[in-house]
């Protein structure tokens, strides 16, 4: 039985592929990125499919994109189109210009365009509100991912009758594949609260949680103090879980990539990610291995079996 699988957001790889690899789906080639913005033919296809106009169209920090282009967007109505070092296409719109559900519909249409050689990992809806100088993103973010490139440990668990609960954007990243129940987690505090409730409720199953603010709000924005505060808040909550874990539970805390908020750039960094695991018989030992070792360990712990066709080496 595994009550807590906590993936703290934080890089050495694209957030999408990092999550996939944690659960045993490894891409054979990098997903496409656009360091110079999306080519004209792609933008034209997006305009035809969505009926919208676009502005910006270059790699941009998400908060800065809204701060720098939000006022013009309100004036002319063109949506803010941007990307990052990850394989993503992001569309931001003020809720007074385009309702949150309408923006999600536009992004679904954009997802249908971004296929083949342009199959980015995610198309992301980024609604925001507020006034110039005080714009803020709402909690209605939605990720439209490409499906994982193969079978995952989530599929193995689901098909084996083990309940799989996804908290935060995990459901979106896996397009719901192998997931029985999705719960919200637009902020760290919300995701931690939902996870805590599941720790109390579940008798058996996997809880797979993503803490988005650790990376999105603090890592990419180079907020060292905020990052430190977020880690302390996570530590305090997880400390409270420890007394509630039962014999036979497994708690894993790791990351889908590295992030150094003190680095000179705002992209993902490439240090090894941490792995902290608590379970009967752990012995205080060290484990070095691939991200997929997490998925392999979860499957063995919850079912007592392995999946030889999937990558990963169980540490339990």
For the chain, the domain total comes to 2
Reported as a single tens digit per residue, the pLDDT across 118-161 is: 999 999 999 999 999 999 999 999 999 999 999 999 999 999 99
Residue 236 located in a structural domain:
yes
Reported as a single tens digit per residue, the pLDDT across 216-231 is: 777 666 778 888 898 9
3-state SS, residue 1:
coil
- The residue range of the domain holding 187 is 4-29+146-303
Reported as a single tens digit per residue, the pLDDT across 14-68 is: 678 888 999 999 998 999 999 999 999 999 999 999 999 999 999 998 889 999 9
Q: What percent of the chain has pLDDT over 70?
A: 92
- Tokens describing residue 189: 């505090």
Residue 251 located in a structural domain:
yes
Residues 73 and 210 in one domain: no
With the CA atoms of 85, 173, 167 and 226 taken in that order, what torsion angle do they form, in degrees rounded to the nearest 10?
0
Residues 129 and 156 in one domain: no
Q: Identify which of 305, 15, 14, 33 has the alpha carbon closest to the alpha carbon of residue 160.
A: 305
Model-wide pTM > 0.95: no
Residues 131 and 224 in one domain: no
Q: What is the CATH number of the domain that holds 286?
A: 3.40.720.10
Strands (E), 146-250: 164-167, 181-183, 206-211
Residue 65 located in a structural domain:
yes
Residues 155 and 194 in one domain: yes
Reported as a single tens digit per residue, the pLDDT across 177-232 is: 999 999 999 899 999 999 999 999 999 999 999 998 887 777 666 778 888 898 99
The residue from 145, 169, 201 where one domain ends is: 145
């Amino acid at each position: 039985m595994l009550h807590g699988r906590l993936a703290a957001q934080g890089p050495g790889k694209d957030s999408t592929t990092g999550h996939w690899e944690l659960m045993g789906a490894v891409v054979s080639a990098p997903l496409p990125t656009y360091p110079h913005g999306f080519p004209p033919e792609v933008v034209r296809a997006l305009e035809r499919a969505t009926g919208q106009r676009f502005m910006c169209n270059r790699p941009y920090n998400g908060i800065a994109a809204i701060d720098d282009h939000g006022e013009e967007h309100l004036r002319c109505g063109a949506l803010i189109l941007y990307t990052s070092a990850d394989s993503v296409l992001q569309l931001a719109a003020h809720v007074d210009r385009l309702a949150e559900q309408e923006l999600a519909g536009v992004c679904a249409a954009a997802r249908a365009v971004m296929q083949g050689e342009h199959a980015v990992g995610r198309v992301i809806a980024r609604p925001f509100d507020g006034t110039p100088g005080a714009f803020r993103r709402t909690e209605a973010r939605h990720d439209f991912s490409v499906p994982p490139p193969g079978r995952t440990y989530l599929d193995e668990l689901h098909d084996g009758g083990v309940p799989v609960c996804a908290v935060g954007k995990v459901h979106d990243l896996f397009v719901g594949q192998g997931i029985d129940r999705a719960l919200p987690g637009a902020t760290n505090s919300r995701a931690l609260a939902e996870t805590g409730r599941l720790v109390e409720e579940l008798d058996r199953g996997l809880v797979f949680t993503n803490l988005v603010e650790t990376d999105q709000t603090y890592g990419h924005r180079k907020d060292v103090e905020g990052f430190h505060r977020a880690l302390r808040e996570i530590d305090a909550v997880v400390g409270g879980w420890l007394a509630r874990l039962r014999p036979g539970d497994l708690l894993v805390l790791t990351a889908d990539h590295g992030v150094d908020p003190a680095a000179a750039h705002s992209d993902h960094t490439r240090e090894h990610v941490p792995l902290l695991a608590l379970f009967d018989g752990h012995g205080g030992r060290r484990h070095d291995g691939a991200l997929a070792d997490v998925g392999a360990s979860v499957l063995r712990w919850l079912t007592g079996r392995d999946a030889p066709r999937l990558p990963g080496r169980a540490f339990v």
